[in-house]
Amino acid sequence: MDALVSLCKRRGFIFPSSDIYGGLNGFFDYGPLGVEMKNNIKAAWWRDFVHRRDDMVGLDSSIIHHPTTWKASGHVDNFTDPLVDCKVSKQRFRADQLFFAAVIVEAESAAPSGNEKQTIGYVSALESDRTDAELQEKAEQLKRKKAIRGKLLPVEARDMTQAKPEEIPLIPSPATGEPGSLTPPRSFNMMFQTYIGALRDDSAVAYLRPETAQGIFINFKNVVDTGRVKVPFGIAQVGKAFRNEINPRNFTFRSREFEQMEIEYFIAPDADWQKCHRDWIDAGLAWLESVGLPRADLSEYAHPKEKLSHYSKGTVDIMFKFPFGVQELWGFAARGDFDLTQHQKFSGKSLEYFDEVAKQRYLPHVVEPSVGVDRIFLAALCAAYTEDEAPDDKGKLEKRTVLRLSPRLAPVKVAVLPLVKNKPELVAVAEQLHAKLKRKYVVFYDQSGAIGRRYRRQDEIGTPWCVTIDFDTLANGTFTLRERDSMKQERLDEKALFALLDEKLY
Ligand code: GAP
């Protein structure tokens, strides 16, 4: 991750937000290459899930909705995370990400009742892919420190939402290592609040949307009345969402401002929602593979029934193997008719759909595929980042950093490189080709430095192809096309180059 974060900053993919003021935790700015790649993710998703399907339409709703939207959706009451404060360090933790365990030592005893078990204290650790191991190590340290004899039992990790009231004062804060400073968990609403207009009282309170989904539900009737859509159909929306996350972490993975790509797919109440749900998960997996995420790094996680969100009949997440652990990438929730029912109730307007085939009126049910653009961005970078070796201009092997991004996502598609910059006839042809290519694609023109160095610069930002204009170009009109991953070179002419790009990029 460190190498990737550093590359992102050095090459202009992602900067910490408000960098000159010391940054702002949980916020990020996408630089010149980052914005291209982010736009490519959104465009590829939109093309594949909206334009290339007959059952989808798009929407772009406002970020701030009527505040009743969030009352109806349940966000005002339920969009909370359990929060634990450390009164000494002033740090805050998500209770479900703060793990603890009692440290229990078993001393051999001659008593007929058997060996004696004694709790000698508590240990804590923040969630990671080695939480259990960390707690066990800390338990061993505590036993050594207290010089207690006997057999240490394997620790049993629980999170702070499961702590009994009498245990809380005994659990050490992960910030200080000492017990006594953690508060009991309390609910913290993650919506960012603002005010509309000049008044700053309760009547003016509004929220920055924490998801794009509700914008779709509150426009359901508008789309049905105007869009010539028939159930089953879906509405897609891409846009910013805001959550006042307690613990933004893992670079952009959990941010406070991010972008979502969401679909609400409306089906008849008696339709087979499980099949629809499965079809969307499969479509998500296939799409992620098509944009370069290896299938071996993707897995599925079905939420246990007792942990489902208030609206969900069933949720499956596509997980990705990030360097910091296997984490949620894309959620697929079957929301039933929860949202339309709520908005119908709170607005007093009928949101029923008239099914002309079944001659029935009903509130459709939905399956919701919902994914973060920033998470796909991060997953694509993690999957693409590679260090290998390539020959320099003298044939000596040197370390090369290469982003093996899928051509559709790569910020720059082609680099145009005249072999040398002091031959005007080569430069003229290169400039002409550059001008033609940039009408259609994001192209980079680079004439400075040895050709190997120029290739390396493009490899590091994931440019799939470099085109070199050399003396043969002047003789027969062909260029050298060098492919990023294999580093193979072939000669081709302008027509073949455009054909290749069209095939690979759309
Ligand atoms: N409408 C349903 C919904 O918003 P969610 O699981 O809370 O469900 C959906 O979010 C997706 O949005 C996640 O799978 C993730 O890709 C992305 N996401 C959620 N919170 C995020 C955050 N704080 N930072 C970045 N992406 C986030």
pLDDT tens per residue, range 15-37: 999 999 999 999 999 999 999 99
Q: Is the pLDDT of residue 114 over 90?
A: no
Q: Whose CA is nearest to atom 13 of ligand 1?
A: 371
Best mutation site among 61, 70, 191, 211 for ligand 1 pocket (most ligand atoms within 8 Å of CB): 211
Best mutation site among 328, 330, 367, 378 for ligand 1 pocket (most ligand atoms within 8 Å of CB): 328
Q: Whose CA is nearest to atom 14 of ligand 1?
A: 330
Which atom of ligand 1 lies at the shortest distance from residue 333's CA?
Answer: 2
Q: How far, in Å, CA of 243 to CA of 112, rounded?
A: 57
- State the Rg of the chain over Cα: 28
Residue-level pLDDT at 392: 79
What confidence tier does 250 reach under pLDDT thresholds 50, 70, 90?
very high
Length of the chain: 506
What confidence tier does 344 reach under pLDDT thresholds 50, 70, 90?
very high
Rounded to the nearest whole angstrom, what is the distance from the C-alpha of residue 371 to the centroid of ligand 1? 6
- Two tokens at 21? 């003021």
* Least confident stretch, 65-69, 149-153, 367-371, 432-436: 149-153
Q: What percent of the chain has pLDDT over 90?
A: 89
Residue-level pLDDT at 308: 84
Rounded to the nearest whole angstrom, what is the distance from the C-alpha of residue 376 to the centroid of ligand 1? 11
Q: Which sign, positive or negative, has the C-alpha torsion 247, 252, 258, 264?
A: negative
Residue-level pLDDT at 340: 98
What confidence tier does 309 reach under pLDDT thresholds 50, 70, 90?
confident
Q: How far, in Å, CA of 407 to CA of 504, rounded?
A: 7
Which atom of ligand 1 lies at the shortest distance from residue 262's CA?
Answer: 1
Q: Which residues line ligand 1 (CB under 6 A)?
A: 211, 213, 243, 245, 254-255, 258, 260, 262, 328-331, 368, 370-372, 374-375
pLDDT digits (tens, 9 = 90+) for 59-102: 999 999 999 999 999 999 999 989 999 999 999 999 999 999 99
pLDDT digits (tens, 9 = 90+) for 479-497: 999 999 999 999 999 999 9
Coil, strand or helix at 259:
strand
Q: Whose CA is nearest to atom 19 of ligand 1?
A: 372
Residue-level pLDDT at 157: 96
Q: Is the pLDDT of residue 113 over 80?
A: no
Residue-level pLDDT at 129: 79
Residue-level pLDDT at 428: 95
Best mutation site among 375, 376, 377, 378 for ligand 1 pocket (most ligand atoms within 8 Å of CB): 375
Residue-level pLDDT at 396: 86
> How far lies 146's CA from each of 105, 106, 169, in Å?
11, 14, 19
Which atom of ligand 1 lies at the shortest distance from residue 248's CA?
Answer: 23
Q: Whose CA is nearest to atom 18 of ligand 1?
A: 372
Q: Whose CA is nearest to atom 20 of ligand 1?
A: 254
Q: Whose CA is nearest to atom 15 of ligand 1?
A: 372
206 - beta bridge partners? 194
Within 4-74, strands assigned E span 14-16, 28-30, 56-59
What confidence tier does 108 reach under pLDDT thresholds 50, 70, 90?
confident
> How far lies 106's CA from each of 34, 37, 110, 132, 425, in Å?
56, 57, 13, 20, 85
Q: Is the pLDDT of residue 111 over 80?
A: no
Please provide the average confidence, as pLDDT, over all residues in the chain. Answer: 95
